[in-house]
């Protein structure tokens, strides 16, 4: 989790020097769907990173003590009772690229497919932050299926409404490139390279969003002129 921390945009909430006695109180401050990162250190060389989501601890990593999670929790419980150590509290600013209304192209069948795709990828981000490593390979495969489904819808619309052949071929080639990128994300998940996956998925979504808002614009304009909001496969 220490590597993951370096990727996150954090907003400091508390001053250094607060004792761990207030850990439960700080965790309870996390709102619905909000993440807090708590950074604990003592003068004996022990440090712990605690990720809390919606007032529940979802991930913990300690250095300088037993690697067993139960032992780490016992240590933190004792520290809470004794008021030992110091704590820094951060709000995790979302790196997620969520689907927003401003991204809509005005064609319901495409907007729905786009939103589903972004939602599935967000689940992967969430699982990594939550420390749910066992869920990540399955979630990234579900996200991949949503990508394929979205591309299939676009390609069917191109055929149905006679999108110019040369432009259609170019569009499909772009789809293949994006599919290959997501296959590499699956490989990273299968190999347990979750930090690489986190970074690469974020970059993929940024790239795809840019593509969707720019390169897809010509295609959606064509559809709006052909069939408007009634476009469907």
Token pair recorded at residue 29: 């401050």
What pLDDT band is residue 13 in, cutting at 50, 70 and 90?
Answer: confident
Per 3-state DSSP, what percentage of the chain is helix, strand, and coil (rounded to 5)?
A: 60, 15, 25
pTM reported for the whole predicted model: 0.78
Please give the Cα distance from 49 to 224 (Å, whole number): 50
pLDDT for the residue 97: 61
| Angle of the 136-160 helix axis to the 108-130 helix axis, nearest 10 | 170
- Cα–Cα distances in angstroms (integers) from residue 23 to residues 14, 37, 141, in the given order: 12, 11, 36
Question: In the CATH hierarchy, which fold is given to the domain comprising 101-230?
Answer: 1.20.120
pLDDT higher than threshold 90 for residue 88: no
Q: Where are the domains of the chain?
A: 2-93, 101-230
Q: Which of 194, 141, 150 is nearest to 175 (CA)?
A: 150
Buried/exposed 106-139: b ≥16 CB within 10 Å, e otherwise: ebebbbebbbbbbebbbbbbbbbbbbeeebbbeb
Q: What would the mean pLDDT of 163-171 be, rounded to a whole number?
A: 93
pLDDT for the residue 18: 54
* Cβ–Cβ < 8 Å for 96, 108: no
Token pair recorded at residue 152: 């299939």
* Cβ–Cβ < 8 Å for 57, 28: no
Q: What would the pLDDT profile of 48-74 be if each residue is shown by its tens digit?
A: 888 888 778 788 888 888 777 778 878
Please give the Cα distance from 133 to 53 (Å, whole number): 16
């Amino acid at each position: 989790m220490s590597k993951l921390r370096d990727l996150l945009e954090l907003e400091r909430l508390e001053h250094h020097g607060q004792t761990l006695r207030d850990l439960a109180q700080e965790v309870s401050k996390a709102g619905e769907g909000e993440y807090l990162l708590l950074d604990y250190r003592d003068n004996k060389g022990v440090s712990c990173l605690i990720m809390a989501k919606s007032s529940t601890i979802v991930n913990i990593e300690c250095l300088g003590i037993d690697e067993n999670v139960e032992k780490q929790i016992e240590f933190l419980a004792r520290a809470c009772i004794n008021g030992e150590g110091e704590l820094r509290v951060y709000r995790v600013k979302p790196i997620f690229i969520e689907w927003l209304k401003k991204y809509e192209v005005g064609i319901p069948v495409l907007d729905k497919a786009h939103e589903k795709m972004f939602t599935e990828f967000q689940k992967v981000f969430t699982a990594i932050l939550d420390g749910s490593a066992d869920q990540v390979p399955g979630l990234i495969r579900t996200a991949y299926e949503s990508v394929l489904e979205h591309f299939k819808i676009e390609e069917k619309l191109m055929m149905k409404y006679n999108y110019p052949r040369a432009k259609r071929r170019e569009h499909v080639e772009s789809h293949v490139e994006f599919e290959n990128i997501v296959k590499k994300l699956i490989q990273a998940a299968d190999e347990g390279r979750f930090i690489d996956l986190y970074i690469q998925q974020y970059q993929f979504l940024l790239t795809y969003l840019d593509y969707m808002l720019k390169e897809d614009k010509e295609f959606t304009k064509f559809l709006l002129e052909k069939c408007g909001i009634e476009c469907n496969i």
